Structure 1
């Protein structure tokens, strides 16, 4: 059973009302995603607990973040988490369907840990199913949303399972976006990547792919992972 809350160095995530809990993959995304100096406005699509919005707010005090969450229970919990943090004045949580939400601005950055699974067994837990499956937000719809939300120099960070590269790249191309860089996440050095973070935009310079290995052996983090997560994890 997942913990009811997760303490970070600068904030607490209470997660008992959220279908999708704090995950190592999402923490990596929040810590690794490049935050350019010009970033002032951020859109978090599918905010869940509010984790990514608060990680970005901690890293870059110049930004204001709109965090959208379709599930009312999760949105309420994200609001509580944000309001209990030092970042409350810079994060606005909206309970809304991202496909129907009309922003009043263009964004410098979008971050999203979207529904992962296009074809897999469905859960009896409606909230968890909605959070995990692309039935609620397809790659096509997400790419279109990002293209509409970003300003010309803006970019997006998207966390997906390994093996979804072609589906995501094709969806991006149809919306005028391209993939400029990837972070390949391996649980162990001898395992294939199981998650990929894609950097996506319309006017980005291509950069070499990076790789992150989480564990040296079970229960022992690599030095690279510890360095990345040290600003956030309590015991690093």
Structure 2
């Protein structure tokens, strides 16, 4: 499988690991990670999001977890080959049993979206078998620092359910990005960010394409430090 090339790092890919996709790129570029020092990524896959956050925040130490042994080995290789290798660490670990003596001030996840079904493609990465929304939220509430931020990207039809679960454990929604696939099209995704501290909710609309197969100015600006785009 061909590597996916970014400006400052390459992503080796594997048939048994969820590939580089727009959701991961969006979360890696849109989440507000600038002030974080100690970051945790849950379900790192290829390591894409952790690498993007390492590029965006030169002061952050990043811990990445994955339940898939192939993903852990792949992320290790991608981290090792990057300019940020000293600040990136990956572990073969079930998040539900993960323990840390220190709290994280930023937790990020592109979680499994779908209820358990008969599909055999990318089962752990796509289906809520090993990690449900509730599992994820409850565990994050334990390991996130009092001032910390929890950031996810999910299908828009699941956003209200996710927000309700988060509210039940004491999280406040502090930022919401409405992601539209194409200009004047339907809402497709939401980037949701939560904190244990209540603050004014920030809402942003974001469009990926202005016409079929033609990126919007928003997307080009957002990813200009990452995508090669013919450079």
Alpha-carbon distance between aligned partners in 1 of 2:16 and 2:194, rounded to the nearest angstrom: 27
Please state if 1:199 is matched with 2:193: yes
1:122–1:129 Cα contact (<8 Å) kept: no
Q: What corresponds to 1:143 in structure 2? A: 137
Q: Report the alpha carbon displacement of residue 191 of structure 1 after superposing the two structures with TM.
A: 1.3
CA distance in 2: counterparts of 1:163 and 1:183, whole angstroms: 14
Match of 2:12 in 1: 14
Contact 1:179 1:201 (C-alpha < 8 Å) held by counterparts: yes
Check whether the contact 2:34–2:56 (CA below 8 A) recurs between aligned residues.
no
CA contact (8 A) 1:155 1:204 kept: no
Q: Distance in 2 between matches of 1:133 and 1:182?
A: 23
- What is aligned with 1:222? 216
> Could you say what secondary structure the match of 1:102 adopts?
coil
Say yes or no: does 1:82 pair with 2:76: no
For residues 54 and 115 of structure 1, the distance between their equivalents in structure 2, rounded to whole angstroms, comes to 20
Match for 1:189 among 163, 170, 183?
183
Q: Which range is displaced more, 89-98 or 212-221?
A: 212-221
* 2:205 is equivalent to residue 211 of structure 1: yes
- Quote the RMSD (CA, aligned, Å): 1.4
Q: Secondary structure at the match of 1:82?
A: helix
Cα distance in 1 for partners of 2:210, 2:223 equals 15
**Are 1:168 and 2:162 matched, yes or no?**
yes
Q: Distance in 1 between matches of 2:16 and 2:88?
A: 18
- Within the candidate set 98, 110, 128, 2:95 is matched to 98
CA contact (8 A) 1:153 1:204 kept: no
Contact 1:107 1:151 in 2 (8 A): yes
Unaligned runs of 5+ in 1: none
Q: Deviations over 1:113-152 (max 9, x none)?
A: 0000126x43234xx1111011210111100111111100
1:17–1:74: 8 Å Cα contact kept in structure 2?
no
Off by >2 Å, runs of 4+ in structure 1: none
Alpha-carbon distance in 1 for matches of 2:202, 2:172: 14
CA displacement at 1:18 relative to structure 2: 4.0
CA distance in 2 between counterparts of 1:47 and 1:177 reads 23
Contact 2:24–2:49, Cα closer than 8 Å, also in 1: yes
Map of 2:59 onto structure 1: 62
Q: Which residue of 2 aligns with 1:40?
A: 37
SS of 2:95's partner is: coil
